Chains A and B, each alone.
Chain A
Amino acid sequence: MAGSTLEIKDLHVEIEGQEILKGVNLTINGGEFHAVMGPNGTGKSTLASAIMGHPKYEVTQGEVLLDGENVLEMEVDERAQAGLFLAMQYPSEISGVTNSDFLRSAINSRREEGDEISLMKFIKEMDAKMDTLEIDKNMAQRYLNEGFSGGEKKRNEILQLMTIQPDIAILDEIDSGLDIDALKVVAKGINEMRDDAFGCLIITHYQRLLDYITPDKVHVMMQGRVVKSGGPELAKRLEEEGYDWIKEELGIEDETIGSK
């Protein structure tokens, strides 16, 4: 099986009445790793949030299709069950709900009633993945993200990714706040996911993560649009030269939203 396809077509998104995304087009196929890069405030998280169905973001135009199905008509949990996953830039903290109960509930939501994963099997799988990510075992019994350090939150997002095994994942700034050792560990987890069936959109504003995870395609976002796409060499050039040359090439003065 070649996996799923996520198509983003002419996507326009508003937040509190302000248009942030102004027509984004992207297609991610199973087996492909895409990187979306761009300075802060150019709409990267907005893209990720709108695809997943964040309550604050309103899609005003365009479509998002997963294997031809209209994602935008689905509830958030249905999007996830259809195969989407978003590792969030700022994961929520949920008091009273342990990491472990949360994760088990997430797995069981994809299974039929009566076919829930056994506790033993679940613990075994979770333990193995926690080892890969070098996560302290007591994190399983801590409340979901509550009091986690920035790095712990990021690892926890990847733990969820690896346990849930979605078809298409979007990773929003999964590298921010990680030291180099943690970055390598997280990259290892993500690379373990790589196969023909798995598609991934990696959002970052540093090229650093891409030293460890080689993307097939690289896109640059500015002013709420994808302004340039290329191969891994584009990321390299951005690392060496920054974003100014793109702005110059395209005649952009201010790359953030709300400017022309």
Chain B
Amino acid sequence: MAVEVSLPYDKQYVTEYSNKHSEPEWMKELRLSALEKSETLPMAKPDKTNIEKWNFTDFNHDVEGEVIDSLDNLPSEIQDFLDQENQTENLLIQRNHTAAFTQLNKELEDKGVIFTDIHTALRDHADLVKEYYMTEGVAVDEHRLTALHAALMNSGVFVYVPKGVQIEQPLQVIFWQEDDRASLINHVLVVAEENSSVTYVENYISHNTEAQTSANIVTEVIAKDNAKVSFGAVDNFAHGTTVYSNRRGIAGRDARIEWALGQMNEGNTVSENITHLVGDNSEGDTKTVVVGRGDQKQNFTTNIRHFGKESDGYILQHGVMKDKSSAIFNGVGKIDHGATKSNAVQESRVLMLSKDARGDANPILLIDEDDVTAGHAASVGRVDPVQLYYMMSRGIPKKEAERLIIHGFLAPVVNQLPVEAVKNQLTQVIERKVY
């Protein structure tokens, strides 16, 4: 049955950690109460994947990272995620648990845009953070992992876009787990006030192929009335990192939240991405691309929940499973009573490249309102050895044939990703993963 959480972190540790970062009192209390809850709350239960034995508790909690004086000094594996030709000015690099590089365009700063690491935000913008931190989006007590997150949160960023501010250049964050055993218990909080717009792009990167650790990530995106948030991510944790990633969006009236997610982790991963369309005429659009390989097990739940009238939700996910990897794709469109004239559409496609790969697509529509439109399509297919034979019979080596098939299969999603930077990064990462 359930594994005991024998956390090496107790009340005293959490109190000292909070004090060390000069956190406001409410934050310390939130942590302590969450720690208590984590001992009794049940484990998260992603549909069709048993994660009871996964490692979410064995890691290094507090690891500093060296300050980055110049981007030129970054190793090439990190440079790869910067855009050499068109790098955005708005860049934050978190190295282990230290904000090692932070830069924001001066004009944006003058307009009141906040783009800073979570520790600084808790000191300098405590009231703003307090208003949105695990209040409207993810709750502390959803399950043991959210409680653990709240108790031990050790890094992350805060983005605040004031009313009416349109940010043209993306904000980019690189979360670099440089230490093999460091655990990113990362909190990303994006608040876009009324009539504002922002594109945010993040990358998680680690290279611990052997050493085991875990990441526990909570992301909250709050788009107020008529705000637009484009959220792009290319996750790139190495095999040794077990990942729990919870990305939650709350859209107000006429607001739009777009998720462009390249889920390229190499280790076991549970990802849930839920968008609440609260306001009338709000829109949620989630596009996910996954490549699984090796022996990794993954579970992706993408859920758009309609509360507002005339809300539109679109889910499009394509996954390729190689080797012995397996993945479950749960796509959920839920329309609440009263959300009239809403539209929930989803499409999930999974392609397996080897006989040992496993993929499962479960489209679910839960509709409590008559006056709506909804549709779903799902398919799970396997590349047939005869197809590979056909391609190889023209001289194309097997790996190259697979590469063509994978790119071809993912292209319909990649090409539609709303964030150019993510499209380019993703194409590169896919290229690396197909060999």
Contacts and interface: CB of A to CB of B under 8 A. Distances in A.
Interface of A: 52-56, 75-77, 79-81, 85-86, 88, 91-98, 101-103, 105-106, 109-110, 143, 160, 164
Contacts of A76: 389, 392-393
Contact of B395 (A55, A77, A93, A143): A77
Interface in B375-407: 384-387, 389-398, 400, 404-405, 407
Nearest to B409: A96
B387 A94 contact: yes
20 contacts: A53-B389, A54-B389, A55-B385, A76-B392, A77-B392, A77-B395, A80-B395, A85-B393, A92-B386, A92-B390, A94-B390, A96-B407, A96-B408, A96-B409, A97-B405, A101-B408, A106-B396, A110-B395, A143-B408, A164-B394
Contact of A160 (B384, B385, B387, B394): B394
Contacts of B390: 88, 91-92, 94
Contacts of A79: 393
A97 B404 contact: yes
A152 to B, nearest CB: 16
- State which size class the interface on B falls in: 20 to 34
Task: Please indicate which of the listed interface residues A52, A101, A109 has the most CB atoms of chain B within 10 Å of its own CB.
Answer: A109
A86 B389 CA distance: 11
B411 interface: yes
A143 B411 CA distance: 12
Given A77-B395, A92-B387, A105-B404, 6 more contacts: A80-B394, A86-B393, A94-B405, A94-B408, A101-B404, A105-B394
Task: Please indicate which of the listed interface residues B394, B398, B407, B411 has the most CB atoms of chain A within 10 Å of its own CB.
Answer: B394
A102 B397 CA distance: 12
A95 B395 contact: no
Given A95-B409, A96-B405, A109-B400, A102 B394 contact: yes
Contacts of A85: 393-394
B394 A55 contact: no
Task: Please indicate which of the listed interface residues A93, A98, A103, A105 has the most CB atoms of chain B within 10 Å of its own CB.
Answer: A105
A44 B397 CA distance: 26
Given A92-B387, A105-B404, A52 B397 contact: no
A92 B384 contact: yes
Contacts of B394: 80, 85, 102-103, 105-106, 109, 160, 164
A76 B385 CA distance: 12
A164 B385 CA distance: 22
A80 B392 contact: yes
Interface of B: 384-387, 389-398, 400, 404-405, 407-409, 411-412
A80 B391 CA distance: 10
Contacts of A93: 387
Task: Please indicate which of the listed interface residues B386, B390, B395 has the most CB atoms of chain A within 10 Å of its own CB.
Answer: B395
A102 B411 contact: no
B395 A164 contact: yes
B396 A77 contact: yes
A81 B395 contact: yes
Contacts of B397: 77, 109
Nearest to A54: B389
A80 B386 CA distance: 16
B319 to A, nearest CB: 14
Given A80-B395, A143-B408, A55 B386 contact: yes
A223 B408 CA distance: 42
A85 B398 CA distance: 16
A193 B35 CA distance: 76
B347 to A, nearest CB: 15
B393 A80 contact: yes
A242 to B, nearest CB: 33
Nearest to B397: A77
Nearest to A163: B394
A96 B387 CA distance: 13
A65 to B, nearest CB: 18
Contacts of B405: 94, 96-97
B386 A109 contact: no
B48 to A, nearest CB: 26
A97 B393 contact: no
B409 A102 contact: no
Nearest to B398: A77
Given A55-B386, A88-B390, A101-B404, A96 B395 contact: no
The 9 closest A-B pairs by CB, nearest first: A96-B408, A80-B395, A106-B394, A92-B390, A76-B392, A109-B395, A77-B392, A97-B408, A92-B387
A88 B384 CA distance: 16
Contacts of B384: 92
Contacts of B411: 96
A161 B78 CA distance: 44
A166 B398 CA distance: 19
Contact of A94 (B391, B393, B395): B391
Contacts of B391: 92, 94, 97, 102
Contacts of B386: 54-56, 92
A92 B389 CA distance: 9
A147 B387 CA distance: 15
A109 B397 CA distance: 7
A86 B393 CA distance: 7
A186 B405 CA distance: 28
Nearest to B404: A97
A106 B396 CA distance: 5
A85 B392 CA distance: 10
Task: Please indicate which of the listed interface residues A55, A75, A76 has the most CB atoms of chain B within 10 Å of its own CB.
Answer: A76
A55 B385 CA distance: 7
A251 to B, nearest CB: 37
A30 to B, nearest CB: 19
Nearest to A160: B394
A22 B243 CA distance: 57
A52 B393 contact: yes
